[in-house]
Amino acid sequence: MSDRVYPSTKPSGADAPAAANGGANPTFPANKAQLYNPTRLPYRPQPPPRRRHRRGCCCSCCLWITTAILLTLLLAAIAGAVFYVFYRPHRPSFSVNTLQLSRFNLTDTHLTSAFNFSLTARNPNKRITFFYDQISVKILSAGDVDIGDGSFPGFTHGRKNVTTLRAVISSSNNPFPEGTDISQLKSSLRSRNLPLKIQLDTKVKVKLGKIETKKLKIRVTCDGIRISIPTGKTATLATTSNVKCKVDPRIKIIKWTV
């Protein structure tokens, strides 16, 4: 025969608080919805701000600048090629025609000399004309000592033209500048043979058709000349067959001259 189970007369642990409160509704801990304002929107984390990518913009700028530079260089090259084909520009050339020494007297402090100098200038261009200012002439000897000065007048050098210039280059008992070393010049004088270098300085303006440039300084240097010291009143003639004259522009950059 099975046993019957009867309920206990004592209230259980879950029913005890209700019985103690006289049968009122039981209280429970507040949940999260009750702790916060129910009308407040839930917090949602914002995504990090997007960084603006400037690399693409920089690359585009660099590309445009590079393209512009290359296009400018290309146009300049085309213009230069057209200019060269049309004008065929060449530098003027100079050569020593004759150089005679008629007087030379050297002391420790003074120098007297007299040269008869003839120079040939050639313009090989068909469409270019040169306009020269006065040309200063300086004759240098051993140790780059100045032994004679003079000048040629300015002139217009026409197209396909050959011009001969003549001048007397001299030093009339002029004292040497302080600190000038004339030991090499005295040594050459004892051997009765002087090494010479002729230096010409001037400004030149170029005319191409109707276009005229600004004046540019140039220097012409003729080196490798040798001449004997005259005896008596007979002038000596320099050997100039192998003399080469070099034409260089004198471009001044800040304090340096190229």
28-32, 72-76, 123-127, 178-182: which range is least confident on average? 28-32
Other residues' Cβ atoms within 10 Å of the Cβ of residue 87: 14
Mean pLDDT of the chain: 81
pLDDT of residue 9: 52
CB 193 within 8 Å of CB 229: yes
DSSP symbols for 142-191: GGG-EEEEEEE--EEE-TTEEEEEEEEEEEEEEEPPTT---HHHHHHHHT
pLDDT tens column, 190-243: 888 899 999 999 999 999 888 899 999 999 999 989 999 998 888 999 988 778
Does residue 81 carry a pLDDT above 80?
A: no
More confident residue, 155 or 174: 155
pLDDT of residue 55: 61
Classify 232 in phi/psi space as left (phi over 0), alpha (psi -120 to 50) or beta.
left
- When pLDDT is averaged across residues 95-118 and rounded to a whole number, the result is 92
Does residue 63 carry a pLDDT above 90?
A: no
CB 157 within 8 Å of CB 123: yes
How far, in Å, CA of 195 to CA of 218, rounded?
A: 24
pLDDT of residue 239: 84
Does residue 74 carry a pLDDT above 70?
A: yes
User: What residues does 93 pair with on adjacent strands?
Assistant: 122
pLDDT bin (cut points 50, 70, 90) of residue 79 is: confident
Q: Which amino acid is at 136?
A: S
pLDDT of residue 255: 43
pLDDT of residue 80: 74
Percentage of the chain with pLDDT > 70?
Answer: 73
What is the sign, positive or negative, of the torsion defined by CA atoms of 30, 33, 36, 38? Answer: negative
pLDDT bin (cut points 50, 70, 90) of residue 170 is: very high
Rounded CA Rg of the chain: 50
Classify 57 in phi/psi space as left (phi over 0), alpha (psi -120 to 50) or beta.
alpha
Does residue 140 carry a pLDDT above 80?
A: yes
* pTM for the full predicted model: 0.67
DSSP state of 11: P
